[in-house]
Amino acid sequence: MQPNSVIRTFKCIKNVSKIHSGTHRLFHKSTSNAIEFTSVRYPNLKRGQYSNVSDVDIAAFEKILPGAQRVITDASELEGYNTDWIKTCRGRSQVLLKPKETEEVSAILKICHERNLAVVPQGGNTGLVGGSVPVFDEIIISTQLMNTVISLDSLSGILTCQAGCILGNLNDYVSEHNLTMPLDLGAKGSCHIGGNLATNAGGVRLLRYGSLHGSVLGLEAVLPDGEVLDCMSSLRKDNTGYDLKQLFIGSEGTLGIITAASILCPQKSQAVNVAFLGVDSFDRVLEVFKESKHQLAEILSAFEFLDSEALAVCTDNLKLNSPLSSHPFYVLIETSGSNSAHDEEKLNTFLESMMDAGKVLDGTVVAEPTKIQYIWGLRERVAEGLMHDGYCYKYDVSLPLSAFYQLVTDMRARIGSKATRVIGYGHVGDGNLHFNVTSPQYDPEVMALIEPFIYDWVANYKGSISAEHGLGFKKREYIYHSKSRSAVKMMKALKTLVDPNGILNPYKFLPDH
């Protein structure tokens, strides 16, 4: 079988008119008047005992950041930076700072430390747990202008860059040298590598390249008192002392502002194929996964799934065409290797065996880059499509595969017709379910049906309440559902050691009690 042909029921996708560009900047509304302030929605939360930003502070920041557009105090310009991507959190910061260099970040934090001013670090502001925007009036420090590639060693594959480089741009850059970034996600057109590191972003390549804890070789961060912590290294192996950089990966801006990193980039694959398949039950999804690991082995690079309601988000709200007829579940399999003839033969043999066994009912295989991008769009653009329904209640959990889809079934039964949609999709190959509910606007009744029930459900099955998006503002109080009291106690002790005044990203990540 040739790629681009389809197994059994062929439907070509060449006539699709709209091609999604994987590295487009995500749409960012600048007006957010309808969005409730976080401080209003959560009236029990009190502002910490931080100072207010004074004119003297502004003058000091302007001295550190000379030139236009680097100290922003205009309310309308600040609106987009005060509001998160899913329009569920809105702060009231009056100051946005845009440093270009590590030394500038250091000088800013020295002032904030001395003056007891609270700060929120912000990258591309695509975070999905309310971690990247202020809760009250924290100063926003954006890495937007810290976007320089420092070096690339094409032999070792080690990229060194500033934290504000956009992930998609880095991928374009390294691919000119036959390399690829070890992570990829739907927000690649907007998210910064610093934000990816701060959230320990997973994405669709984790199955192949593992987590950022393995790919990051070096990291530089500015601590809350302004000290620059130099953990930059370009060594694959280095067993000297505690591996401090790991603390910052996934610390969600609570320990330091990441300013630069060295990342190991794997070789770009010469041959990529994507199969999009229809199956009739979630058990079939798991059977296809098991068999794909066995038969595709080293060329399997992604295994994702969507339920029919998740695909409907793309077809209804984004008007994307599905290449397949309707099925209860869909699987997206990507293979990446170095020999197209070998990979295609392997993939086709696998798909034929799945069809013959009745495990796969329908499918399409593509190898041409624009078609690959289109099929990936059906999976990666669900998050964007959900926003068209109004309000989105977003959950990102790790679960044992035996209980994986049961969560969606149980929640659907519980929520009934009170929501617009209840969907499940995600990185099934990594045991990571994305569970989403939508309604026309924020509805406390729907929220009460979901939380805390969902967290108890996940804990009961020994899952994690955050697989990859993190805790941010929204999930910190539920950390005990996934971490022991002793572990959280140590996290709090560490936070106090590094940030004794708690100025860095307050009200996030760690629980109050």
Sites of contact with ligand FAD (CB under 6 A): 26, 85, 120-128, 131-132, 143, 163, 185-187, 191-192, 194-196, 198-199, 201-203, 252-253, 257-258, 383-384, 468-469, 472, 505
Which residues are at the interface with ligand 2HG (CB under 6 A)?
A: 186, 380, 383, 394, 396, 426, 434, 436
At its nearest, how many Å lie between ligand 2HG and the CB of residue 373? 15
Of 225, 273, 230, the closest CA to residue 115 belongs to 225
Q: At 329, which amino acid appears?
A: F
Q: Shortest gap between Cβ of 196 and ligand FAD (angstroms)?
A: 4
b/e burial code for range 455-483 (CB count within 10 A of at least 16 → b)? bebbbeeebbbbbbbbbbbbbbbbbebbb
**Cα–Cα distance measured from residue 163 to residue 216, given in angstroms and rounded to the nearest whole number:** 13
The item of ligand 2HG, ligand FAD, none sharing an interface with residue 377, based on CB under 5 to 8 Å by kind, is none
In the complex, the smallest distance separating the C-beta of residue 257 from ligand FAD, rounded to whole angstroms, is 4
- Could you tell me the smallest distance in angstroms from the CB atom of residue 482 to ligand 2HG? 18
**Would you say 41 or 394 has its CB closer to ligand 2HG?**
394
Q: Which does 394 bind (CB under 5 to 8 A by kind): ligand 2HG, ligand FAD, none?
A: ligand 2HG
- Shortest Cβ distance from residue 419 to ligand FAD (Å)? 21
Q: State the minimum distance, in angstroms, from the CB of residue 434 to ligand 2HG.
A: 3
HSE-up (13 A, CA, CB side) for residue 503: 26
Nearest to 441 by CA among 62, 27, 36, 29: 36
Residue 490: CB minimum distance to ligand FAD, A = 20
131 binds, among ligand 2HG, ligand FAD, none (CB under 5 to 8 A by kind): ligand FAD
Picked from ligand FAD, ligand 2HG, none, the partner binding residue 434 (CB below 5 to 8 A depending on kind) is: ligand 2HG
Residue with Cβ nearer ligand 2HG (121 or 186): 186
The option from ligand 2HG, ligand FAD, none interacting with 436 (CB < 5 to 8 A, set by class) reads: ligand 2HG
Instruction: Name the residue number minimizing CB distance to ligand 2HG.
Output: 383
Query: Token pair of 447, please?
Result: 């929220």
Q: Of 343 and 380, which CB lies nearer to ligand 2HG in the complex structure?
A: 380
Q: How far is the CB of 275 from ligand FAD (least distance, A)?
A: 20
Angle, in degrees to the nearest 10, between helices 340-356 and 282-296: 140
CA 383-384-390 angle, 5° bins: 95
Out of ligand 2HG, ligand FAD, none, what residue 124 binds, judged by CB under 5 to 8 A for its kind, is: ligand FAD
Q: Which amino acid is at 144?
A: Q
Nearer to ligand 2HG, 251 or 436 (CB): 436
Residue 414 touches which of ligand FAD, ligand 2HG, none (Cβ within 5-8 Å per kind): none
What is the smallest separation between the CB atom of 170 and ligand FAD, expressed in angstroms?
12
Question: Residue 291: what residue type?
Answer: E
Amino acid type, 159: L
When the beta carbons of 85 and 136 are compared against ligand 2HG, the nearer one is: 85
Residue 163 interacts, among ligand FAD, ligand 2HG, none and using kind-specific CB cut-offs from 5 to 8 Å, with ligand FAD
Nearer to ligand FAD, 21 or 325 (CB): 21
Exposed, middle or buried by CB within 10 Å (0-12, 13-18, 19+), for 489? exposed
Q: How far is CA 252 from CA 120, 123, 325, 505, 510, in A?
A: 10, 11, 41, 8, 10
Nearer to ligand 2HG, 302 or 449 (CB): 302
Residue number with CB closer to ligand 2HG (304 or 499): 304
CB nearest ligand FAD: which residue? 195
Q: How far is the CB of 432 from ligand FAD (least distance, A)?
A: 8
Task: Give the one entry of ligand FAD, ligand 2HG, none that residue 191 binds, where binding means its C-beta sits below a cut-off of 5 to 8 angstroms depending on kind.
Answer: ligand FAD
Q: How far is the CB of 150 from ligand FAD (least distance, A)?
A: 15
Decide which of ligand 2HG, ligand FAD, none touches 196; Cβ closer than 5 to 8 Å per partner kind.
Answer: ligand FAD
Q: Which is nearer to ligand 2HG, 98 or 188 (CB)?
A: 188
Beta bridge partners of 331: 277, 305
3-state secondary structure of 173: helix
Measured CA distances, 455 to 45, 200, 252, 267, 510 (Å): 21, 21, 21, 39, 16
**Sign of the four-CA dihedral 304, 310, 316, 317:** negative
Q: Strand 119-122 and strand 139-142: pairing?
A: parallel
* Comparison of 195 and 429: residue with beta carbon closer to ligand FAD: 195
> What are the residues whose beta carbons fall under 8 Å from the beta carbon of 302, sequence distance 6 or more?
204, 205, 207, 208, 332, 333, 334, 429
The burial of 66, by beta-carbon neighbours within 10 Å (0-12 exposed, 13-18 middle, 19 or more buried), is given as: exposed
Shortest Cβ distance from residue 68 to ligand FAD (Å)?
23
3-state helix, strand, coil in the chain (%, to 5): 35, 20, 45
Q: Of the candidates 253, 271, 243, 281, which has an alpha carbon nearest to the alpha carbon of residue 336?
A: 271
Q: Which does 337 bind (CB under 5 to 8 A by kind): ligand 2HG, ligand FAD, none?
A: none
Considering beta carbons, is residue 187 or 408 the nearer one to ligand FAD? 187
Residue where the block lists tokens 């130099």: 230
- Report the C-alpha gap between 313 and 70 in whole angstroms: 38
Q: Quick one: 163 or 510, whose CB is closer to ligand FAD?
A: 163
